[in-house]
Amino acid sequence: MSSVAPALEATTAALPRPGAGAPLSAMQAWVGQEVQAALRVQTRGLLAGDFREFAAAAQPGNKEVLAELQRRFRTLRSLQVTRFDQRIDAQPHALAKKGTWRAVHIVNHCFVETDCGIDEAVFDSLWAETPEGLRLTGFRQHDRNSPCWSCTSYGTRSLSRPWETTELAVRVGARTLVAVPVRYRDRLAELSRRAEKAAAVADRYRIGEPAVDRYRIFVADNASWRRWYAGRPGKWVAGRAIPTGAARIEVEVLESELTPDFTDELLTHELAHVATLRNDTYYGRSDVWFLVEGMADYVGQRRPGIDGYRKRYALGHLLRQRPLRSAGIAPPADDASLLDADGRYAVGFYAVSFLFERYGKQKTLQFFQGAVQYGIGLDGASQSAFGKPWATVDKACAAYIRSL
């Protein structure tokens, strides 16, 4: 096999390389052109399974960037990537060292399915001018506080995807994709089997369109828990459902929490979020937090063979600490104790349970969709689904919870 790397793709009416003393704008235009051409070649190599083409832009002799490209290539191929459309955001940024640059990538991608909704990852690449042209020297995570000007989804800008930083082993089932750091690959078969069972339960409570094409579950070790997505969550959190775009949600769970007694509960809870949430704006809306988490816990309790609700113990503690006048309890603080967090989740669970019991599945799911997915407010959603003001329903809800 030839050791010569594939030639980088030329562009139509390509800009010539600016000479010494050229203005920054001219250099930015040329660098942007060269990066975009390199990304087209890289994507083509990735989708074709051709690593030499994927790595064609790498700086010769740079072992670090070559190793990182190999890791990304292996992981993305394991994830069965089917789309990887790359573009750069705004103009390349000149770095302090002369002749070096940073570009912000936006990557609209799909795994397994040949078509999916817009799902954008954002990360940075580093480049250096050489006599042979512009060459790739590395990658880095995008600054979570830095805006992405041309991202389709506002929420995209704060996320660091697992495949950007971690080599993953992957198993694809009928309804799920489960990915773990390679050192946990021996757990894949078990976790995939459990995820498929959780997906079967979550599918029964799907709300809204489009349908979930596949549940994507990424299992984090302690180091990944700090790096992936928006970083470490509250200390009581064992898993998260993270919106990555409109109607696109990924699940992250902490490997140490996937114990024999807790794995099924945790996976079903998180997949229930994917089944019932259809936008990327619900986080931060504390008025519906009790519904979002209560619904996920409710669905989790629909697993076969479940007898009793594990967080019931915490409800009694919460009710002894405070009067409960409304089911609309606030979410736990990031540094809350597990007891406090479980008590608040229990309020949401029993509120949703009351609604299912009093009004039935169809109306309860309609209420949830109005309040959470459509954002029409608790009262508007209650009037539409139940024919009553939320104040009336909430009062009955709270009374039921206090009676437990």
Which string of DSSP letters, residue by residue, matches 292-325? HHHHHHHHHTTSTT--S-TTHHHHHHHHHHS---
For position 279, what pLDDT does the model report? Answer: 66
Q: Is the pTM of this model over 0.75?
A: yes
Q: What are the helix (H) ranges across 91-187? A: 162-165
- Are the CB atoms for 37 and 9 separated by under 8 Å? yes
Domain 166-280 has CATH 3.30.2010.30: yes
- Are the CB atoms for 327 and 404 separated by under 8 Å? no
| CATH code given to domain 24-153 | 3.10.450.50
Q: Output DSSP code: residue 184.
A: G
Which one-letter amino acid corresponds to residue 43? T
Q: Print burial letters for 350-383: b (CB count within 10 Å at least 16), e (below 16).
A: bbbbbbeeebeeebbbbbbbbbbbeeeebbbbbb
- Are the CB atoms for 67 and 51 separated by under 8 Å? no
Bridge partner list, 242: 250
Task: Give the Cα separation of 93 and 110 in Å (integer).
Answer: 28
Angle at which helix 378-386 crosses helix 390-402, to 10 degrees, equals: 90
Tokens of 312: 């019931």
- What stretch of H or E contains 140? strand 133-141
Task: Give the Cα separation of 320 and 323 in Å (integer).
Answer: 8
- The terminus-to-terminus CA distance of the chain in angstroms comes to 73
- Are the CB atoms for 288 and 372 separated by under 8 Å? yes
User: pLDDT tens per residue, the chain (404 residues)?
Assistant: 344 455 555 545 689 999 988 999 999 999 999 999 999 999 999 999 999 999 999 999 999 999 999 999 999 999 999 999 999 998 999 999 999 999 999 999 999 999 888 889 999 999 999 999 999 999 998 887 777 778 876 554 567 899 999 999 999 999 999 999 999 999 999 999 999 999 999 999 999 988 999 999 999 999 999 899 887 677 899 999 998 887 889 999 999 999 999 999 999 999 999 999 986 556 557 899 999 999 999 999 999 999 899 999 999 999 999 899 999 999 999 899 999 999 999 999 999 999 999 999 999 999 999 999 998 999 999 999 999 999 999 999 999 999 99
